[in-house]
Structure 1
Amino acid sequence: MFTLQCQSVKDIRKHSYYPAENEVLLMAATQFKVMGCLDQGNLHIVQLEETRPPFPLLQPVPTVVPQSINPISS
């Protein structure tokens, strides 16, 4: 199991086959630093923190806010 600390993650629970799971979508080439590992018997938990690469490979897509469209009257 992984625990993530990130800024560029997108929550996809509403689109998932398993909406009760905390599923997220990460941008390609996202880099992480391992902050810790826990061994709880049969369960291994890896704690990861997103890092900013010195040379970003991809730029995040800006969030578009929907705006209402007013019909043009003639």
Structure 2
Amino acid sequence: MTPAQTEAYVDAAAAALDLPLSPQHRPGVLQFFALAAGFAAQLQAVPLQAHDDPAPVFVPVEPSAGAAA
């Protein structure tokens, strides 16, 4: 996202949520939103295959009795 797109998105999201955004907080919100958008872009750049789907059920495994804690 460009800085202008980030500003437009933050403004629109704040308005849609009726969330007041004080002028003192705006630079920090924009900075951290841009950081999050960068993380999202990195994740979206990773190609996924059908076998990359997460497991439908997580079943934890008990540590073995002999393992050091």
Q: Into which bin does the TM-score normalised by the smaller protein fall?
A: under 0.3
Q: Larger C-alpha radius of gyration, 1 or 2? A: 2
In terms of fraction of residues, the more strand-rich structure is 1
Structure 1 or 2: larger helix share? 2
TM-score (norm 2): 0.18
